[in-house]
Amino acid sequence: MSITRHVSNDGKELTIAVHGKFDFGLVQEFRRAYSSVGDEKPTVYIDLRETEYLDSSALGMLLNMRKALSDGVKGIHIINSRPEVKNILDISRFDKLFTIE
């Protein structure tokens, strides 16, 4: 389980990738990953390509991030979800709150 963070050279994109299980064990690391987004009002991408599993605490972390960043970013996109992860997001109706690609 780990989080990686990448900011584009122009500061307009922030990508946070979650590797392994996305659960309560990543609370602090995930919060640190989005805590400073810079002055460019970037688009945030949560890359779940390597996320094997997410639980209710991960859903809560995504909601807390959305609330914390609401005016500081252009948008939040959840990208590259595996079918089983996307199913959890769909059941939770996260498509109403995030752009899911």
Domain ranges of the chain: 3-100
Q: Terminal CA-to-CA distance of the chain, rounded, Å?
A: 22
For 21-80, write each residue's pLDDT tens digit.
Answer: 999 999 999 999 999 887 789 999 999 999 999 999 999 999 999 999 988 899 999 999
Q: What is the mean pLDDT of residues 1-20?
A: 94
How far apart are the C-alpha atoms of 75 and 89, rounded to whole Å? Answer: 17
pLDDT at 4: 96
The tokens of 78 are what?
A: 């959840």
Which two three-digit tokens encode residue 38?
């810079």
DSSP-derived pairing of the beta strands 51-54 and 99-100: unpaired
Work out the average pLDDT over 76-90. Answer: 96
- What is the three-class DSSP state of 51? strand
Position 1 pLDDT exceeds 90? no
Superfamily of domain 3-100: STAS domain (3.30.750.24)
